[in-house]
Amino acid sequence: MYSVSTEGSFDAAHFLKDYQGKCKNIHGHRWRVVVQVSATSLLEDKQNQGMVADFKDVKKALNQLLNTFDHTLIYEKDSLKPALKKLLQEEDFALREVPFRPTAENFSRFFYEELKKSMNITQVSVYETPNNCATYTD
Ligand SMILES: [Zn+2]
């Protein structure tokens, strides 16, 4: 099995509702996302001969996805009181609702499933900090 990896990043805030500790507060990360694409045989067309995938295509899909989170406040559906959400929207803050608790683990699966729609993703790792990483894999 051949694999290639590339990475992207975005800056965003989040918080963990019902968490007892510092992460219950709104705080920011530079989220670093490393994706792996695999293939049992290499491409044979003239342009991509000898490649698993063109890094350019993988990076483009990854960056398009990550850009939808960049400089946003990421929050789990129903974790903000409607009145607060309305006030934040009135201030024109960029809010990004997700249907899951915004942990690195859940993001690794979310990015995996989104990218899997267009390429043979086999692993996604999400770093919240340089030292802490969560991985979702086949
Ligand atoms: Zn955090």
Count structural domains, the chain.
Answer: 1
- 26-68 pLDDT, tens digit per residue, is 999 999 999 999 999 999 999 999 999 999 999 999 999 999 9
- What pLDDT does 138 receive? 84
What is the Cα–Cα distance from 77 to 31, expressed in whole angstroms? 20
Find the domain containing 28 and state its range: 2-137
- Locate tokens 């510092």: which residue? 22
Ligand 1 centre to CA of 40 (Å) is: 36
Ligand 1 centre to CA of 120 (Å) is: 29
- By DSSP bridging, strand 95-98 and strand 132-137 are unpaired
Ligand 1 centre to CA of 59 (Å) is: 24
* pTM check: above 0.75: yes
- 78-133 pLDDT, tens digit per residue, is 999 999 999 999 999 999 999 999 999 999 999 999 999 999 999 999 999 999 99
Q: Which of 6, 27, 8 is nearest to 16 (CA)?
A: 27
| Dihedral sign, Cα of residue 98, residue 68, residue 23, residue 26 | negative
Distance of CA 51 to the CA centre of its chain: 24
CATH number at residue 22: 3.30.479.10
